[in-house]
């Protein structure tokens, strides 16, 4: 069996009321269509999926240039059957079957599809149906007295009796390609919507006495389509809860599974604890025993074992080794690499810098484009002045250097190991190992200044 996957995605998505094409709206940070493409490629990795697109086609194509896809344009949306008809010239000659999917039904699982493929006899038409308590809006599956599927009737064409049917058409089919090629040009649009209905291939299969094999999905949400933002939001909640459940089963504690969002590819070691209102984004790896405080955002980051991220920190593009403590209120930007046992405290911003083992930057500092050795201590309010208005420059600080509070380090700058920078120093030139650096700014004291000042003011008032 060689399977050609086809994804229908030409619809406008009117009910989204959006300038963004519907299939580019995101679920857990990833475009809806990308879920379906990934699934199609898992089920049939050797043939590029065909995607039927129409509305805002440029934008949609542009979003998936990194995928092997055959794009087929459907200029006018004249129905699902018409959409599939456009793909006929493109169907791989090697293919024996076509698997039809939808760009706005993101959570269809590979297991369900594989089951549909595996259980459908070679010369049969496979269809995925579902039995719903509220079947409104879907096409209904009509069966005969022997329980054989005879047709699908769209809601708009259904009479009162048909509307009571609870078995619906998910729109997902697995069809032998030879028959499909023959059937599609025969479809007509004699129905309420004046559309070419793909569902009418069932009538042709029945007429040719081709067996129709139906299965149901493992979970109802797999076949949920996104038509408006409220459906998108409820699918998001469902998907998030599924993922969190999966991680809980692997030994991660979430203080409140409903108040965590995972958008991207995240892995957790054992015994990680995650407090509330945490967002994970992009590629994230959390080592075992890490503690993630409330209201934090962790994006494209790797945490070693037993790292503690305290409340209200934003970590983006960082690599943090074991036993590091970060936050509260820290901001780590891309290119931050922190070695084991280092401490980064509150209101500290670090960008594109390497921080050595056991180094401490505990309060109110900016460290950019820097390399700090081990056991360095950076005092409160230290700023690396890495940008002169034209170029970025580097600051290099050796092991065991002590930097006093309120120090400005003007890059490019090298401070060699064991140097001691006194408080409130502006360091403009390189510092040799073991040296003490301070600026000569004497403290001037004028005694009785306040009293004299107040008297002056009083005189002014009398005048
Ligand atoms: C379709 C089915 C219905 C099923 C339902 C499941 C038909 C006639 N009806 O109805 O039985 O219960 O899906 O959700 O097939 N599309 C195109 N080009 C078109 C029209 C649609 O690409 O000309 C795409 C849409 O982008 C969408 C999908 O096909 O991804 C389904 O189209 P939609 O209009 O939502 O079909 P329904 O009326 O919901
Ligand atoms: Ca629909």
Output the CA 86–ligand 1 centroid distance in Å.
15
Output the CA 225–ligand 2 centroid distance in Å.
6
CATH code given to domain 352-463: 2.160.10.10
Alpha-carbon dihedral angle through residues 30, 35, 36, 37, given to the nearest 10 degrees: 80
> What pLDDT score does 150 carry?
98
Q: Which helix (H) or strand (E) holds 371?
A: strand 370-372
Q: Which ligand is nearest to the CA of 102?
A: 1
> What pLDDT score does 41 carry?
98
Q: Tell me the CB-side half-sphere exposure of residue 229, using CA atoms within 13 A.
A: 5
Residues of the chain with CATH 3.90.550.10: 3-223
Active site residues per annotation: 363
Output the CA 53–ligand 1 centroid distance in Å.
13
Residues of the chain with CATH 2.160.10.10: 352-463
Output the CA 86–ligand 2 centroid distance in Å.
19
Which tokens hold the place of 391?
Answer: 């170029």
Is residue 463's pLDDT more than 70?
no
Cβ–Cβ < 8 Å for 370, 393: no
CA distances from 360 to 77, 81, 123, 130, 431 (A): 62, 65, 70, 59, 20
The proportion of the chain whose per-residue pLDDT surpasses 90, expressed as a percent, equals 97
Is residue 56's pLDDT more than 90?
no
* CA gap 369, 392 in Å, rounded: 8
Confidence of residue 247 (pLDDT cuts 50, 70, 90): very high
Q: Which ligand is nearest to the CA of 8?
A: 1
Tens digit of each residue's pLDDT (9 = 90 or more) over 333-375: 999 999 999 999 999 999 999 999 999 999 999 999 999 999 9
Which tokens hold the place of 316?
Answer: 């983006």
Task: Ligand 1 pocket test: pick from 5, 7, 9, 11 the residue with the most ligand atoms within 8 Å of its Cβ.
Answer: 11
Q: Whose Cα sits closest to atom 26 in ligand 1?
A: 11
Tens digit of each residue's pLDDT (9 = 90 or more) over 70-115: 999 999 999 999 999 999 999 999 999 999 999 999 999 999 999 9
Is residue 399's pLDDT more than 70?
yes
Q: Whose Cα sits closest to atom 21 in ligand 1?
A: 80
Output the CA 120–ligand 2 centroid distance in Å.
25
The proportion of the chain whose per-residue pLDDT surpasses 70, expressed as a percent, equals 100
Q: Which ligand is nearest to the CA of 36?
A: 1
**Cβ atoms < 10 Å from Cβ of 455:** 10
Cβ–Cβ < 8 Å for 409, 387: no
- Output DSSP code: residue 252: -
* CA gap 225, 116 in Å, rounded: 19
pTM: 0.92
How far, rounded to the nearest angstrom, does the alpha carbon of residue 401 sit from its chain's CA centroid?
40
CA distances from 316 to 2, 39, 132, 145, 272 (A): 43, 29, 43, 61, 19
Task: Ligand 1 pocket test: pick from 80, 81, 102 the residue with the most ligand atoms within 8 Å of its Cβ.
Answer: 80
Task: Ligand 1 pocket test: pick from 24, 157, 171, 200 the residue with the most ligand atoms within 8 Å of its Cβ.
Answer: 171
Q: Whose Cα sits closest to atom 20 in ligand 1?
A: 79
Average of per-residue pLDDT across 177-184: 97
> What pLDDT score does 380 carry?
98
* CATH fold of the domain at 3-223: Spore Coat Polysaccharide Biosynthesis Protein SpsA; Chain A (3.90.550)
Q: What per-residue string of b and e applies to 127-147 under the rule 16 or more CB within 10 Å gives b?
A: bbbbeeeebeebbbbbeeeee
Average of per-residue pLDDT across 394-423: 98
Q: Residues lining ligand 1, CB < 6 A?
A: 8-11, 52, 74, 77-80, 82-83, 102-104, 138-139, 152, 154, 168-171, 197-199, 225
CA nearest neighbour of 188 among 198, 178, 179, 180: 198
């Amino acid at each position: 069996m060689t399977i050609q996957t086809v994804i229908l995605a030409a619809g406008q998505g009117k009910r989204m009321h959006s300038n963004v094409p519907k299939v580019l709206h995101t679920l857990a940070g990833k475009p809806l269509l990308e879920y379906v493409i990934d699934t199609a490629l898992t089920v049939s990795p050797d043939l590029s999926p065909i995607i039927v697109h129409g509305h805002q086609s440029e934008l949609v194509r542009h979003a998936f240039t990194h995928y092997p896809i055959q794009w087929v344009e459907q200029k006018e949306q004249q129905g699902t059957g018409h959409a599939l008809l456009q793909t006929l010239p493109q169907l791989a000659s090697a293919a024996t079957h076509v698997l039809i999917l939808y760009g706005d039904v993101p959570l269809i699982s590979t297991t369900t599809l594989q089951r549909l493929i595996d259980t459908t006899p070679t010369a049969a038409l496979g269809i995925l149906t579902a039995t719903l308590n509220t079947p409104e809006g879907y096409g209904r599956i009509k069966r005969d007295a022997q329980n054989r599927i005879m047709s699908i009737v769209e809601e708009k064409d259904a009479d009162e009796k048909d509307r009571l049917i609870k078995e619906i058409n998910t729109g997902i089919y697995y069809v032998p390609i030879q028959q499909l090629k023959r059937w599609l040009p025969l479809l007509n649009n004699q129905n309420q919507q004046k559309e070419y209905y793909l569902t009418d291939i069932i009538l042709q299969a029945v007429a040719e006495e081709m067996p129709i094999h139906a299965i149901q999905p493992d979970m109802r949400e797999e076949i949920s389509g996104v038509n408006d933002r409220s459906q998108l939001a409820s699918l998001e909640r469902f998907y998030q809860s599924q993922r969190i459940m999966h991680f809980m089963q692997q030994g991660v504690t979430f203080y409140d599974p409903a108040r965590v969002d995972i958008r991207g590819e995240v892995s957790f070691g054992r015994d990680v604890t995650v407090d509330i209102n945490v967002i994970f984004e992009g590629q994230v790896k959390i080592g075992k025993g890490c503690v993630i405080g409330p209201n934090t955002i962790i994006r494209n980051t790797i945490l070693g074992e037993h790292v503690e991220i305290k409340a209200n920190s934003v970590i983006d593009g960082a690599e943090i080794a074991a036993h590091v403590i970060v936050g509260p209120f820290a901001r780590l930007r891309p290119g931050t690499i922190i070695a084991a046992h280092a401490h980064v405290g509150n209101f500290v911003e670090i960008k594109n810098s390497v921080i050595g083992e056991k180094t401490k930057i505990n309060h109110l500092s900016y460290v950019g484009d820097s390399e700090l050795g081990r056991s360095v201590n950076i005092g409160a309010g230290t700023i690396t002045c890495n940008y002169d208005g034209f170029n970025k420059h580097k600051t290099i600080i050796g092991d065991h250097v002590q930097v006093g509070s309120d120090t400005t380090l003007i890059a490019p700058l090298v401070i060699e190991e064991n140097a001691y920078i006194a408080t409130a120093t502006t360091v403009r030139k390189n510092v040799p190992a073991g040296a003490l650096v301070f600026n000569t700014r004497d403290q001037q004291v004028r005694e009785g200044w306040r009293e004299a000042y107040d008297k002056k003011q009083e005189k002014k008032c009398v005048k």
